[in-house]
Chains A and B, each alone.
Chain A
Amino acid sequence: GENVEQHPSTLSVQEGDSAVIKCTYSDSASNYFPWYKQELGKRPQLIIDIRSNVGEKKDQRIAVTLNKTAKHFSLHITETQPEDSAVYFCAASRDSWGKLQFGAGTQVVVTP
Chain B
Amino acid sequence: GAVVSQHPSWVICKSGTSVKIECRSLDFQATTMFWYRQFPKQSLMLMATSNEGSKATYEQGVEKDKFLINHASLTLSTLTVTSAHPEDSSFYICSARDAASGSYEQYFGPGTRLTVT
Q: Using a CB–CB distance below 8 Å, which chain A residues touch chain B?
A: 32, 34, 41-46, 49, 51, 89, 93, 97-105
Contact between A44 and B97 (Cβ–Cβ < 8 Å)? no
Kindly list chain B residues whose C-beta atoms are within 8 Å of the C-beta of A99.
34, 46, 49
With contacts A42-B110, A42-B111 taken as known, whether A100 is within 8 angstroms of B46 at the C-beta atoms is yes
Contact between B43 and A43 (Cβ–Cβ < 8 Å)? no
User: Please, how many angstroms separate the alpha-carbon atoms of A111 and B113 in the complex?
Assistant: 29
Q: Which 8 A-B pairs have the closest CB atoms?
A: A43-B108, A32-B104, A102-B43, A98-B97, A102-B44, A43-B110, A104-B43, A105-B43
Please give me the residue from chain A that is nearest to B104 by CB atom.
Answer: A32
Q: Using a CB–CB distance below 8 Å, which chain B residues touch chain A?
A: 32, 34, 42-46, 49, 91, 93, 95, 97, 104-106, 108-111, 113
6 contacting pairs across A/B (C-beta < 8 A): A45-B108, A97-B32, A99-B46, A99-B49, A100-B34, A100-B95
Kindly list chain B residues whose C-beta atoms are within 8 Å of the C-beta of A32.
104
With contacts A99-B46, A102-B43 taken as known, whether A43 is within 8 angstroms of B106 at the C-beta atoms is no
Among A41, A44, A98, the residue within 8 A (CB) of B108 is: A44
User: In the complex, given contacts A89-B44, A100-B44, what are 14 additional A-B residue pairs having Cβ atoms less than 8 angstroms apart?
Assistant: A32-B104, A34-B106, A41-B111, A42-B110, A44-B44, A44-B108, A89-B43, A98-B104, A100-B46, A102-B44, A102-B45, A102-B46, A104-B43, A105-B42
Kindly list chain B residues whose C-beta atoms are within 8 Å of the C-beta of A98.
32, 34, 97, 104, 106
Kindly list chain B residues whose C-beta atoms are within 8 Å of the C-beta of A45.
108
Contact between B104 and A51 (Cβ–Cβ < 8 Å)? yes
User: Please, how many angstroms separate the alpha-carbon atoms of A65 and B98 in the complex?
Assistant: 25
Kindly list chain A residues whose C-beta atoms are within 8 Å of the C-beta of B45.
102
User: Please, how many angstroms separate the alpha-carbon atoms of A89 and B42 in the complex?
Assistant: 10
Distance between B47 CB and nearest chain A CB, rounded to angstroms:
11
